[in-house]
Amino acid sequence: MAFFIYGEHKEPGPLQAGVTKAVDLAWRSEFYKELLRRKVREKARAEGPSAVIVVTDAKAEHRDRRSDNSPQRKGKILISGATPRMQGSALLSYTFEHESNSFSFGEMEWLGEPQRNFFLDGIFHEESPPETGGTRPAPAS
């Protein structure tokens, strides 16, 4: 799931007049995954969100759900976010209780270094021509 967060940011202070849009990140093949990545980038460049946050299942105990009779399933959710000036990542552990069909969450663990995320790489910056050796801000629309 990707969240696009819009609003006015008055330094210092919280985001003002915020709106959030959510986009499901589901794909059937690598081709569709790359196409979805392009669409996420196009949306960010066209609409100019203040931040983009991507939530993925980081460390689930994957099992065949059809044969899973266990009362609970545990895993971790990776939360990665980017703004034009910074990136950050955190892990959130969870337990899914099969009988009650509910989730419970542990404490969030902020990661010292942001984790690379396929959908966020370069979302606010495009690659510079090879001779410049750096990145430049994406053009404003």
**Distance between first and last Cα of the chain:** 25
Residue reference for tokens 């053009």: 139
Domain ranges of the chain: 2-137
pLDDT number for residue 12 = 66
Residues with Cβ within 8 Å of residue 32, at least 6 apart in sequence: none
pLDDT number for residue 138 = 43
**Per-residue confidence in pLDDT tens, the chain, 141 aa:** 999 999 876 666 666 667 889 999 888 899 999 999 999 999 999 998 989 999 988 865 544 454 556 677 888 999 999 998 889 999 999 998 888 889 899 989 999 998 888 899 889 875 433 332 333 344 444
